[in-house]
Structure 1
């Protein structure tokens, strides 16, 4: 089950965190993985990891916010079966403390970046006759998260784009779903804590972990496992759905 043999998958931001876990798992399951990564060093490390395990992968240096650059990369990749829109950046701030520059940056990467990849990928997904799009949204699209105004705005748009694409391309055999994780323990989290709470990293890590009723953050491999299911043929009857994977955050935090 959950084989991706003979499938070509594009994963944006596949060089670290959730994207890395998805890239490695998809390759393990037989997919030819194409990683779009702004950080070429991270991309190279994941490529090496996949190849050492006998998988097949390619890395494309790409800024998802650059429309022409993205279009060029997808033209080079050609026909594909799976697109995972994972690339994104975070931001801390309320509506009145978020600068215009920061707001524009979040929009350009987290919204326009998804649009750019959809725009470029869908013609190639059509060629496969059985395409899948998976977008990484967030629980920030579903509930109010303190100090995440711009990020929540962007992830809400990603969830809405998911439903739109699912509706528009259902008769062209393209499925589209999204995943909405709560906090996931990635290098980003470690860097954020080290930068903002250098004197009590462990305490803050525990505090953030406990905001999930299950008592911990998710592991990237757990998000990757759900991504694998939704992109596999076993999920062929699923489209237009968002899947919270949040340790009970959206339903039990009352």
Structure 2
């Protein structure tokens, strides 16, 4: 455990466990017409049935996309997790607890690629980079606030105050970690809302930090279920 604050501008997303393949969609769909013969789909090449996957996606027959599982380890700022946890259907979470462990001083500071200034009004606003002076202010003020907050946290711990009480001074820019388990259908719904994409039928305007997590989750899912991922993109990135 270090008492020296560390500052990060990235996030961590690791696929730690999975049972997910395009064939999972096929046998789940074909049981409705083939019954036990649908078991034959388990070991077959899904490529020959990509038309069925596209049909299910296009006509929004969603349940066949639920018979799979992916578990991710994610490390990101607390404010990302507070948005993430609004996705309740098809997701399971376990996050590290400030009641049971001393929290590490790792904090988020945006890098130079992160736009800082919002222009316009809700629904029509856009973000722009901001000036060098604004970027300097963001970095200096965030670092100062983080250091002061963590020093207060440590002083309370050293005075014998319970962790669950002392943590109240820590900001939402503190990094936390969790396991998130989902299926392809729930992940598609997440991606439809939390990523921006030129193929999206319905535009989304996510906060950049949760979008960073979504992009990394999508890359892992696309590797596991390439036909399903392609159908998702081909049909406007709308969850079935």
TM-score by length of 2: 0.22
Decide which structure has the larger Cα Rg and report it.
2
Higher relative contact order (CA 8 A, sep 6+): 2
TM-score by length of 1: 0.22
